[in-house]
Amino acid sequence: MSELKSKILVTGADGFIGSHLTEELIRQGYDVRAFVQYNSFNSWGWLDHSDSNILSQVDVYAGDIRDPYGVKQAMKGCETVLHLAALIAIPYSYHSPDTYVDTNVKGTLNIVQAARELGVQKVVHTSTSEVYGTARYVPIDEHHPLHGQSPYSATKIAADQVAMSFYYSFGTPVATIRPFNTYGPRQSARAVIPTIISQLLSGKQQLSLGSLTPTRDFNYVKDTVAGFIAVAKSNQAVGEVINIGSNYEVSIGETAQMIADIIGIELAIETDSERLRPAKSEVERLWASNEKALQLLDWRPEYASKEGFRRGLQETIDWFRVEKNLQAYKAHIYNI
């Protein structure tokens, strides 16, 4: 392991994981530039909700990951790049796949091309467990075949390959982190856990969900952030793809029941056909092997197992119970 040097750029810093990662890097004393998506509201996403003492130490750069010039400008003076900027909602990828190619594939190309030209010391590229598709064996290790079952996952497979091709072709120091299903405070309602929590806390009598049988390996955001920092610090991670997961499998139905139990509500669920993925597109099973992360990074999840999952859910629910946080969600609308 080595210490991170000079300024660190975090792309997607305005998002769910990116904002938590930016805050934790600041807490650990690092110099951080946060790349946020430019918009006319001058909104910095979830960073707008950060503690003022933390935010005052962040160098915020507003731009567009699809713009190679702006990306290169943002990366100047940075030795480490943590690349999280992406479109991630699977249902919206059925609706607008072209935007996913532009953002996820071209955006990643812009990062590694600029890294090569600027001589950046480390790029941590963000993958996703969705690239594996439905598990052919469990737990899923990094040698598991890739299977794009949605336009989103297909673009992430392409982005992964682009990033690693620069390592093989040009020696660009790229490491690929592959988080499994991250959850926690601030996650958007396009994901299942905030969908469940926001509906229940908003007083809905019947929970509207898609399929209840698929299983996921849920990873609490604090563990995911620790994984990013561990990959960024590790010289051994360069040229590698590394799973970050809890090594614990749970179904969507069981997850909904656990959330209802914690809140203290009797659960009633209706299947909403609009929330179902096309049959061949549904990823039925995800369960991570995190052995490589332990061996290379000495990373291990603090919220693993059923007990850890329940603890992470409790912390997430506590955040949603704060009225101003819950009001940021439109629980009566299906968010694709």
Domain boundaries, the chain: 7-183+219-245+282-303
What per-residue confidence (pLDDT) applies to 174? Answer: 98
DSSP state of 322: S
* pLDDT cut 70: percent of the chain above it: 99
Q: Mind listing the pLDDT tens digit for each residue in 21-64?
A: 999 999 999 999 999 999 999 999 999 999 999 999 999 999 99
What's the CA gap between 182 and 115, in Å, rounded?
Answer: 27
What per-residue confidence (pLDDT) applies to 54? Answer: 97
With bands split at pLDDT 50, 70 and 90, how would you rate the model's confidence at 2? low
pLDDT, average across residues 251-264: 96
* pLDDT cut 90: percent of the chain above it: 91
What per-residue confidence (pLDDT) applies to 274? Answer: 85
With bands split at pLDDT 50, 70 and 90, how would you rate the model's confidence at 336? confident
What's the CA gap between 44 and 149, in Å, rounded?
Answer: 32
Q: Is the separation of the CB atoms in 90 and 150 below 8 Å?
A: yes
Q: Which residues of 149-168 are buried (b: 16+ CB within 10 A; e: fewer)?
A: bbbbbbbbbbbbebbbebbe
With bands split at pLDDT 50, 70 and 90, how would you rate the model's confidence at 335? confident
What per-residue confidence (pLDDT) applies to 246? Answer: 97
Is residue 1 scored above 80 in pLDDT?
Answer: no
Mean pLDDT (the chain) is 96
What per-residue confidence (pLDDT) applies to 297? Answer: 98
What per-residue confidence (pLDDT) applies to 60? Answer: 98
CB atoms within 10 A of CB 305: 12
On the 0-12 / 13-18 / 19+ scale of CB atoms within 10 A, 182 is: buried
Q: Mind listing the pLDDT tens digit for each residue in 186-235?
A: 999 989 999 999 999 999 888 999 999 999 999 999 999 999 999 999 99
Q: Is the separation of the CB atoms in 129 and 76 below 8 Å?
A: no
Architecture of domain 7-183+219-245+282-303: 3-Layer(aba) Sandwich (3.40)
What per-residue confidence (pLDDT) applies to 5? Answer: 67
What per-residue confidence (pLDDT) applies to 6? Answer: 79
What per-residue confidence (pLDDT) applies to 190? Answer: 87
Q: Is the separation of the CB atoms in 290 and 246 below 8 Å?
A: yes
With bands split at pLDDT 50, 70 and 90, how would you rate the model's confidence at 332? confident
Whether the model pTM is above 0.95: yes
What's the CA gap between 204 and 206, in Å, rounded?
Answer: 6
What per-residue confidence (pLDDT) applies to 304? Answer: 94
What per-residue confidence (pLDDT) applies to 331? Answer: 87
What per-residue confidence (pLDDT) applies to 333? Answer: 86
